[in-house]
A and B are shown apart, each in its own frame.
Chain A
Amino acid sequence: MSPLSVLRVALRALVRNKMRAGLTTLGVVIGVGAVVAMVAIGEGAKAQVQKAFESMGTDLIVVLPGSQNFGGMQGGFGSGQTLTWDDLHAIQTELSAVRAAAPQLRTNTPVLGDGNNWGTQVMGTTADFFVVRNWALQFGRPLQASDVDGATKVAVLGQSVAEQLWGEPARAVGDVLRIKGVPYEVIGVLTPKGQSPMGMDYDDVVLVPAKTFMTKVQGGIKQNIPGSILVAAKNGRESARTAQQVQALLRDRHKLVDGDPDDFSIRNLAEMANAQQQGTQTLTMLLMAIAAVSLLVGGIGIMNIMLVSVTERTREIGVRMAVGARPVDVLLQFLVESLTLSVIGGAIGVGVGVGGAWLLTAKFGWPTVVRPDVIAIAVGFSALIGVGFGLYPARRAAALDPIQALRYE
């Protein structure tokens, strides 16, 4: 029997029972659709986390000062001021794995500009900050060493702050920004950076020279850094080694002996990114497992209907065998029938899955990513289900004795 005839006979048999074929196919449609949509959701979540960490920079290490004892009460990390300006200088100059390092002194305060006010984060830092964060200016110029050394009253605005106060970010440059009543000259506006993995707006920030920050905002220059140090590794893949170097250097400088706990804390963002990605990976696997179950149910539906079909058409099988169908011809006929059901279901299911993913993005703003290889796997898997679950009914049909089959009522 030629392949074309086999396919034609199979299609005719299915068309004869449109309702039944349709409902059986629906099981596979739902299964494949669920797999495609679930994987799209999982991949979307993964891509979102990845993007967030990329905008932050996975080569970054944050060094937080250690805790201090206030009359018997242990404060959390960052409550003390154990990092010194000399520590920062040593990190910048003595470590081979470090590309750049910058201090971060932060406070939240309202700022005024162009007659508007806006509550934002004001950060004191140095010219190195732009190197560490790999952050370019959209308008104007960045902070320079002379600004930091001379404690000049200049400010660089994040995109959001410039928009909130001036409406048009370009208009901010050259204008005056007031922080706690003190006027600063706006010298630049940063390019937009987006959100942090925790949903914080990176662009909602005002950068001023660290020395200016200490004198005008915090009230007095200190030997210790009243904030954290942001370190960038030379190589994005070597952030773990960089963190080790920084830890060893600081322990040495702080004269900690073996057994003493660190009086500082190091956060490696690449590790945090990995942890987050593993979380989304688990989510993807879970969603896929649920979807796979529905695909399995669809396959059982096919097997069920094929068994009914073989029983119903016992006499037809007998006639076909009598006129010369070999057992393998009968086997192929039923196998192609179940394969057709499952592949058509798979193709429609891909459409439903892709459409569903699109709908989730359009209606609810869920990030989804439809991968072509997932579509190929889903269709291939549905074909496998067709063959797998069609094989048993088809073998039963092929094993029928023509004499018995012809007598079947």
Chain B
Amino acid sequence: MGDPALLAVDNVSKTYLTGDVPVRALIGVSLEVRPGELLAVMGSSGSGKSTLMNLLGCLDRPSEGRYLIDGRDVSRLSRAELAVVRNRLIGFVFQSFQLLPRTSAVENVELPLLYRPLLAGERRRRALQALARVGLAERAGHHPNQLSGGQQQRVAIARALVGEPKVVLADEPTGNLDSVTSVEVMALLQQLVADGITVVLVTHEHDIAAFASRVITVKDGRVVTDVRQTPVPAVPHPTVAVAGTLHATGVP
């Protein structure tokens, strides 16, 4: 593991002011995530794991300490500069999918590319490609309410990877899905890692964390455990459509 860290959190603290009372959500956290890792972040609610994810995703800035992505210090950037970093380097997957309603799948996937200097045709081409990678090429014109939960989350994953990010941050991506579709989604995330994208996911389910190559636990604003493991391969149920998908993307 001699690779330089892709994400380097260096002695970071985050303090919120709720009313007059300061709440210390993170206390002196240091963490390095290397390229190709599938890191699962575990912890109960209020442990600080959401705060950690917001910092990793450049949605928030640390109160103290430094945060480097790909060697670049982003802890003191302005809101606009952080937006550019998110656009270029980070993909997001949310528990509640967060697709725009009454907007077709392909247009949802295009969204990150809208904020890049690309021609409409090129945007569409890349969005369709990303949809094909998650096995939903034939659903490009469907609106979110015409898709199942699993399909919606796959559209969201396509949106996260359409901009070819270095890292995908998934906040309880299986939280709203049944166990069969959860495995499908985890198979996709494992596939992203195989394709060279680093994935950080938050979960509170141990069987989901089992698919990761490394598991950390956050408690009271501190990282309390950090375990590397051999990930369990996520094998979707053979009758599910995603099997064909993986085949289509070149996976046996």
B237 within 8 A of A: no
Known: A315-B98, A322-B59. A327 touches B114 (CB 8 A): no
Q: How far is the CB of B17 from chain A (nearest CB, A)?
A: 14
Q: Does A320 contact B (CB under 8 A)?
A: yes
Q: Which of B59, B92, B94, B120 has a CB less than 8 Å from the CB of A5?
A: B120
| Chain B hits for A318, CB < 8 A | 98
A192 within 8 A of B: no
Given A324-B88, A327-B83, do A319 and B98 touch, yes or no (CB 8 Å)? Answer: yes
B176 within 8 A of A: no
Interface residue B66 (Cβ < 8 Å from any Cβ of A): no
* Total cross-chain contacts (CB, 8 A): 59
Bound-state Cα–Cα, A222 to B246, Å: 121
A1-20 vs B, CB cutoff 8 Å, 1 = contact: the mask equals 11011000100000010000
Q: CB of B164 within 8 A of chain A?
A: no
Contact check: which of A16, A321, A406 meets B102 at CB < 8 Å? A16
Decide: B111 and A320 in contact? CB cutoff 8 A.
yes
A403 on the interface (CB 8 Å rule)? yes
With contact pairs A322-B57, A402-B59 given, residues A329 and B115 touching in the complex (Cβ less than 8 Å): yes
Bitwise interface map of B from 190 to 206 toward A, beta carbon under 8 Å scored 1, else 0: 00000000000000000
- Expressed in whole angstroms, the Cα–Cα distance for A4 and B98 within the complex equals 25
Select which of B59, B60, B115 is within 8 A of A1 by beta carbon. Answer: B115
A328 to B: closest C-beta gap in Å: 7
Known: A402-B59, A406-B98. A324 touches B84 (CB 8 A): yes
With both beta carbons as reference points, the residue of chain A lying nearest to B160 in the complex is identified as A323
B residues near A296, Cβ cutoff 8 Å = none
A326 within 8 A of B: yes
Contact of B112 with A by CB under 8 A: yes
Q: Chain A contacts of B111 at CB under 8 A? A: 319-320, 323
The interface size bin for chain A is 20 to 34
Interface contact B114-A1, CB-CB below 8 Å: yes
Contact present for B79 and A326 (CB under 8 Å): yes
Q: How far is the CA of A16 from the CA of B143 in the complex (A)?
A: 13
Interface string of A356-380 (1 = CB under 8 A from B): 0000000000000000000000000
A297 at the interface (CB under 8 A from B): no
Measured between beta carbons, the chain B residues less than 8 angstroms from A316 are 100
Q: Which residues of B contact A16 (CB under 8 A)?
A: 102
Pairwise interchain contact A9-B114, C-beta atoms closer than 8 A: yes
Contact partners of A325 in chain B: CB under 8 A: 83, 114-115
User: Is the pair B86, A324 in contact by a Cβ cutoff of 8 Å?
Assistant: yes
Minimal Cβ-Cβ distance residue in A for B89: A324
B22 an interface residue at 8 Å Cβ cutoff? Answer: no
Tell me if B217 counts as interface (CB < 8 A to partner A). Answer: no
Interface of A: prevailing SS: helix
Residue of B nearest to A5 (CB): B114
Q: Which of B11-34 contact A (CB under 8 A)?
A: none
Q: B80: CB under 8 A from chain A?
A: yes
Task: State whether A319 touches B79 (Cβ < 8 A).
Answer: no
Asked if residues B59 and A327 are in contact (CB atoms below 8 Å), the reply is no
Which of B54, B115, B120 meets A324, CB within 8 Å? B115
Query: Are A322 and B80 in contact, CB atoms less than 8 angstroms apart?
Result: no
The reply to whether the CB of B117 lies closer than 8 angstroms to some CB of chain A is yes
Chain A stretch 307-347: residues in CB contact (< 8 A) with chain B: 315-316, 318-329
Tell me which residues across on chain A come within 8 A of B116, comparing CB atoms: 324
Contacts of A327 in B (CB 8 A): 79-80, 83
A200, chain B: closest CB distance, angstroms: 68
Cβ contacts under 8 Å, B102 to chain A? 16
B159 in the interface (beta carbon within 8 A): yes
B57 nearest CB neighbor, chain A only: A322
Name which residue of chain A comes closest to B91, CB basis.
A323
For chain B, residues 87 to 109, give those with C-beta under 8 angstroms from any C-beta of chain A. Answer: 87-88, 92, 94, 98, 100, 102
A5 partner residues in chain B, CB cutoff 8 A? 114, 120
Contacts of B94 in A (CB 8 A): 406
Look across to chain A and name the residue whose beta carbon is closest to the beta carbon of B80: A326
Encode A369-406 as 1/0 by CB contact (under 8 A) with B: 00000000000000000000000000000000011001
CB-based contact B114/A403 at 8 Å = no
Interface residues of A in 227-261 (CB under 8 A from B): none
Docked-complex contact B115 and A403, CB < 8 angstroms: no
CB of B114 within 8 A of CB of A326, answer: no
Max chain A Cβ within 10 angstroms of own Cβ: one of B83, B102, B112: B83
Interface centre among B59, B84, B87, B163 (most CB of A within 10 A): B59
The answer to whether B60 and A326 have CB atoms under 8 Å apart is: no
Report chain A residues within 8 Å CB of B88.
324
Task: Give, as a whole number of angstroms, the nearest-CB distance from B239 to chain A.
Answer: 32
Contacts of B54 in A (CB 8 A): 403
**A18 CA to B156 CA in the complex, in Å?**
28
A315 contacts which chain B residues (CB < 8 A)? 98
| A324 touching B112, Cβ below 8 Å | yes
In the bound assembly, the distance between CA atoms of A318 and B94 in angstroms comes to 12
Partner of A322 from the list B92, B114, B117, B120 (CB cut-off 8 Å) is B92
User: Distance (Å) between the CB of A143 and the closest chain B CB?
Assistant: 81
Instruction: Name the distance in Å between A385's Cβ and chain B's nearest Cβ.
Output: 28
A324 to B60, CA, bound (A): 13
Interface CB pairs A-B, < 8 A, 17: A5-B114, A5-B120, A16-B102, A318-B98, A319-B100, A320-B115, A322-B57, A322-B86, A323-B86, A323-B159, A324-B83, A324-B84, A325-B83, A325-B115, A326-B115, A327-B79, A406-B94
User: Which residues of B line the A interface, CB within 8 A?
Assistant: 54, 57, 59-60, 79-80, 83-84, 86-88, 92, 94, 98, 100, 102, 111-112, 114-117, 120, 159, 163
